[in-house]
Structure 1
Amino acid sequence: MKLGIIGARSVMENIIKVIDEEIKDIDVISVATEKIEETPSKVRELEKKVDAVLFTGPYNYHYALKHLSKSQVPWTCIPHNRVSALQSLLQASISLHSDLRHISLDTYDPQIIQEALHTVGIQNAEIYTDAINPESATLNEDLYQAHSRRYKNNNKVICLTSHQVCHELLTKAEIPCIRIFPAKEIIKEQVYYLRLQHLDASDQQGDYAVIAIHYNYVFDNEKDPAVRDWEKLRYQHEIREYVYTIAHKLQAAVFSDDIVPLFIVTSRKMLENVFFKQQDHIKLLQFGQQLQRFRVCLGIGLGDSMLEAKAHSTMALNHAFRDADIHAYIAKSNTEAAAPAVSVGRKEESSLETIARHCGFTITTLQKLSSALVATGNPTTAESLAQEMQMTVRSVNRILSRLEDIGCVQIVAKEGHGKGRPTRIMKILL
């Protein structure tokens, strides 16, 4: 897909860096704008060369919508969001030693900043804003003067801005400020959304596969509500990052709706030759179930259109919800019942049989490993397991290597003891 990016140069460079590192199969054409009035004419030129257009922020996006009729080329923008706000607040707390109680804000949504503060347990912060016209010819000077005035009135104020020139003026005046940049997760989310629009427009009749992913988590044992909310947010982002990694391998798009957190849209060919062949369905389920009280369910749907495949994936997901032992189902049509895609049940024998089949082990080997884990504790080390299983460390490492390939091993720490490789402390998920 050819992607056009338009807007502020500094934000555009940040977006391109993420795409180069994370989504390498996207061809980018970028157009920098110094003034918002330049946006409409440059968008029309850009549309002739690309499959989709990404605006660096909501202001130039809405300005273009106001002055242009939308074409067949899909558009979206990098929105104001809580993840980017959290990143900026964390930076202000660490690098500027701010208590985050007094914040000067310009054109970023104050409600999102307030939500981010609540996430980290700050309920009574003062956020100072002024009514500012983003289409003003003197916008950056207006923003600088507003921030400067608030700082002079209260030297505990930390300035947050999403504008490069304003940030440079504040830094030069030695006024404490943080530049808000779009978070990597949000950039990837919007690029995948545009890929979805492009995929839908290409009309791949009869070749759609949709993977519906639902996850839940229980942090009710944590009594501090701020810590609990933060843990939930961190788990959510870990899952999303892992899904983006899979989507990249499948050359797929990712989106969500009001009910299901994440969908991956790809082709039947990629589903069969990559997703199933590389055991990504098992790895995703294992990754999501980091603790026994966490659960991930997959519904995989096939169809002649994207909407049909999505409907089948939701139907399959409902089967996965109802089944206590099988967490992934696949549905191919409205007339056929959804069938299990993989068994990763809570019953030990069923789980061990599945892992043994994918790794080429005997059940006896895994039962021996399971018994050793009871004796050594989990997490453990290869050395401890080797001693308990009466095997060489090399043989145990070969077993662990295969288990790691399908997501059944998590490295939780490394301990160094002088020269040589550090000892890996591993959690084994059977």
Structure 2
Amino acid sequence: MKLGIAGPQEPGEKIIQIIKREFHQIEPVALTYRTYLEAPSLIAPQQPFLDVILFAGATPLSYAEKHIKQTIPWEFVPRSGSALLRVLLSIALLNKYDICRLSSDLYDTAQLYEAYEEIGINKDRLQIYTAKPLPQANDFADYVCAFHEQHYECNRVSCCITALSSVHERLTAKKIPCFRVDPTADVIRQTLHKLQLNYLLQVSQQSQIVAVYLRIDASHEYSLLNDNEYQYIIDKTNVTREIYLFAQRIQAAVIEVGLREFLLFSTKQMLENVTNNYEKIDLLPAVRKNTSSTLSAGVGYGKTAQEAKINAGIGMERAGKAGGDTAFIVYSGNQIIGPIRSYDINQPANTNPKIDQKFLAVSEKTGISVNTVFQIYSLVKQQGKNRFTTAELAELTGVTLRTMNRIVAKLTLHGFCCEVGKRVLANSGRPSRIIEICIP
């Protein structure tokens, strides 16, 4: 874990010493500043290269939150009662300052009363002044200095305590007794342990196994695909290709389950990044656009791979019942999100489910029957080429040459085929035209 430590030099060095001595899994990076006003400009360029940032106190963290965007976890070393008791002990040992009369800018009155009760001093004996917290203001340090200085000059307090190094330096320079409250080693250790556990939990969650269950939606009973087994296999191959391309993007393991189902295993972080937290599952529109099929998809989370698989199956069944070409996300505890569709829900539905729309459009433009259009389209896929002589097309489709010439003429008129050359098939007679089929 790469940990950025944002704070003044002295507390920052103390934290780094503890890390080097006791936390060998942490790589510390010093982000040292003189005043917390420098924190945002110091941290912003370093965030992409760090895993966590630890602030020396709450004030620099609050100020940084106002000025830069947080992209990684931030934490601060808390203001503990033990640190306050330590500084009170230091003041008392000097036998010079009255610890019952002081000003503070880091603890509220209730926290201070509680600390004094721990050492047997009743709050009735106390004359304590606390500064109003305004850490996001650019002039907060000036405000705090003026606060302490005013109370000291008016003889209300014997000394002051602060957590800000810049305030400590300025008041000390003015001969005002000021004591800085630094976190104890024990509090630093506790904070570092907490950071480690949170980081490991985050990594574990990002690496959580997620299952994606996919099913090729069944074609309508009147679909043209049902009349051509070869074309059905070609289409399934195209769908499989899109699935494997998607699996490659999310670095998933793929298991083919039966004839129409696929099971993918990836990680939470990878899948959510690729789909932008499921705002856009590109696989669904890719299959819809590039094949004659659609998919029902279920994404399943779980504490185990088995639970993730079961939840993904639930999501897939939900997607199928919703009409296909959609996805459902199923989390642990049966929390379900969906449907997530690959198209605008307000677009008009298929008004003629008995005829595949792509071939119907060509048929309506050319005046050629849908079956003939589909037959020619299937020949292109089956033969692995899109150029034929008119004689070849006539023979393969089982129609006369004259009929095929009429079909070619209609397709050419509307841009679905074009003549690219001629070929002599016999020693005598006219050469046969070479036609390039352009049916999408």
TM category (shorter chain) comes to 0.3 to 0.5
Normalised by the size of structure 1, how large is the TM-score?
0.43
Normalised by the size of structure 2, how large is the TM-score?
0.42
Structure ID, larger Rg: 2
